[in-house]
Amino acid sequence: MSKRVMMVGLAVGVGLATLQGGIAEAQWSFAQPPGMWWYWGSFHGCATITKVPNPDAHPALLACDVTVTAVQTLCQNPSFKDVTGEAATKFKFSGTNKFDTTDLDTKTKGKANLCANIDDSLAGHDELCVNPNWHLKDWLTTQFEATCTTRKCLDAECTSTKIANTQVCQCTLPSEWTVENKPPACTPVQALAKDPACEAYTCIELDGPGGNWTGGYCQLPQ
């Protein structure tokens, strides 16, 4: 993508409405269905977004906090033997993605296609191994919780923002994938195109961080 994306991978469906008098005000909502769709690669969260004003005139952004809660590990012991394991974690990653004109659909006014990405690098965290004295060689995030907020920028640089809406998702990777048999990496372009080669996390919507299932899903319908 042409702009810098900080973070593990995420996008959210939002809406922007214009108030009377021509003053744009963020009236964001996480479109359901399908809400957010999350793909492995590390994480890509993608959405088609409607009612989007020109981001040059009305800047806005997506901000996501992701807590990795479960990983599979591949570690090397002192005998140079590779050992797989499971680890519960509370590693947190954050990132933002600002809307720009390249996200706008050229055929449909007010429609945007946007992905955000979070790199869930756990390199150097040997404590995730079965024995913390072993060396972590590789990992695969199998579950995470993501809290994403849509934000109206109160200045051109988005140094000050106003939260418009929030969605919380708990996402789990299908069990057939392992640290020794990872899914093929998916790019944001593939994810937006809903490429069947992209492996999606199964995501449920929560009523808040660490909360209960709302009955909704944060992904494309199966």
Determine the distance from the C-alpha atom of residue 176 to the mean position of all C-alpha atoms in its chain, rounded to a whole number.
Answer: 21
Determine the distance from the C-alpha atom of residue 147 to the mean position of all C-alpha atoms in its chain, rounded to a whole number.
Answer: 9
Work out the average pLDDT over 107-130.
Answer: 87
Rounded Cα distance between 22 and 52, Å, is 14
Sign of torsion, CA 117 195 172 178? negative
CA-closest candidate to residue 39, choices 163, 196, 149: 196
87 and 68 Cβ atoms separated by less than 8 Å:
no
pLDDT score for 221: 58
Of 14 and 40, more confident: 40
What's the pLDDT tens digit per position in 150-166? Answer: 788 898 888 999 887 78
CB neighbours of 11 closer than 8 A, spacing ≥ 6? 36, 37, 44, 45, 46, 47, 62, 97, 114, 115, 116
Rounded Cα distance between 45 and 97, Å, is 11
What's the pLDDT tens digit per position in 43-87? Answer: 887 877 777 778 888 888 878 889 999 999 999 999 999 999 999
Tell me the two tokens of residue 106: 């050229």
23 and 39 Cβ atoms separated by less than 8 Å:
no
Whole-structure pTM value: 0.81
Q: Where in the chain are the domains?
A: 17-66+93-121+146-217
